[in-house]
Amino acid sequence: MSDMSFQHRHLLGIQGLGPTEISFLLDLSDGYVEQNRSADKKKSSLRGRTVINLFFESSTRTRTSFELAGKRLGADVINMQVSASSVSKGETLIDTAMTLNAMHADVLVVRHPDSGAVELLSKKVNCAVINGGDGSHEHPTQALLDALTIRRRKGRLAGLTVAICGDVLHSRVARSNIHLLNIMGAQVRVVAPRTLLPSQAARLGVEVFHDMRAGLKDCDIVMMLRIQNERMRGNFIPSIREYFHFFGLDYEKLAMAKPDALIMHPGPMNRGVEIDSDLADDYERSVIREQVEMGVAVRMACLEVMVDNLARDRDAHA
């Protein structure tokens, strides 16, 4: 069954996965897209299983998407929003893990503001862990849903040219996408002012551009990243208007890309900052809503695989 193609106990990142593993997850997700579009959306493959959404950082989309995914597979889904207050009470990440172990969860979906925190937690719990985004490190399900969106629209990933634009420095979405697209044989570009690029960005296997028009030239996919407002007060970027002028996506800059280029954004969008509002709403070009739909299907696939692998491991130990 599915565990033949994706053997890992956790899904902590894209880095380290191979093309067959990624294709396997995408194929599985494809099936759920159809199911989610049908009238009866519910399956019972995860009945009796417990999924805990453990979020140390606020999120609406990702959390809701995982919650819906778990529920459609029949799992019991619990959301734990860990506020700053319990951290200030002194509970460490490891203490939290111990607490969760005692609850016998099957899958933990974890988001944490610190890079590496999800991996640390995964070493201390008995269940499967899916990284729902850790710091500026990885956000694997976002990369998978982006890949699924692209693959369904373009029929392939290999050979496409993808420009990832914006705050690459702070973005886990960018890193996971760069890894995935490289593994699948796409050409990846990053487009950003130098202050929003990590040093040695090119070492990730991307072509670096500081001029958006040059970076978008003949691209198949334009992937915009969200930029946080607090980065726009002169520390990384002088102002919103300057950022939009040079790095905001509008029709004029988009004209450099291929005529059928798709626009993607992980949301939530800052209209008029990184993307022109009209463009975000242009159904011809923008697949931003489709990305949300694919997100649920991808997360269903990931949850199912995790639960299957866990059952296999537990059988092996029994």
Partner 1 sequence: MPMRNPSRVAFVNARLIDPATNLDARGWLLTENETIADFAPGDFPHGAPEGVEMVDCDGRALAPGLVDMRVQLREPGEEHKETLKTAGEAAVAGGVTTMVCLPNTDPIIDDVAAVEFVARRARKIGLAKVYPYAAATKRLEGKELSEMGMLAEAGALAFTDGTRAIGNALVMRRALSYAATFGALIVQHPEEPSLAEGDMNEGEMATRLGLSGIPAAVEVMMLERDLRLVELTGGRYHAAHVATAEGVEAIRRAKQKGLSVTCDTAPPYFALNELAVGEYRTFAKLSPPLRTEHDRRAVVEGLADGTIDAIASDHAPQDADSKRLPFAQAAAGGIGLETLLPVALELVHSRGLPLLDVMRKLTSGPADLLGLADAGRLKKGGPADLVLFDPDRPWKVVADSFRSKSKNSPFDGRPVQGWILRTLIDGRTVFSRP
Q: Which residues bind partner 1 (CB under 8 A)?
A: 193-195, 199, 210, 233-239, 241-242, 245-246
Residue for token pair 């506020």: 83
- Rounded least distance, CB 22 to partner 1, Å: 33
The residue among 164 and 237 lying less far from partner 1, judged by its C-beta, is 237
At closest approach, how far in Å is the CB of 306 from partner 1?
41
Comparing C-alpha atoms, which of 114, 116, 121, 117 is closest to residue 135? 114
Nearer to partner 1, 88 or 199 (CB): 199
Closest separation in Å from C-beta 211 to partner 1:
8
Positive or negative: CA dihedral 198, 203, 204, 206: positive
Q: Report whether 285 contacts 263 (CB < 8 A).
A: yes
Tokens 């579009």 correspond to 37
Query: Would you say 129 or 192 has its CB closer to partner 1?
Result: 192
What would the two tokens of residue 266 be? 């992980």
Task: Provide the H-helix boundaries in the chain.
Answer: 19-37, 61-72, 84-88, 93-103, 117-122, 140-154, 172-183, 212-216, 240-247, 251-254, 277-280, 288-317
Comparing CB distances to partner 1, the nearer of 233 and 289 is 233
Residues 291, 151: Cα–Cα separation, whole Å: 12
92 vs 235, which CB is nearer to partner 1? 235
Least Cβ distance, residue 137 to partner 1 (angstroms) = 22
- In whole angstroms, the minimum distance from the beta carbon of 269 to partner 1 comes to 22
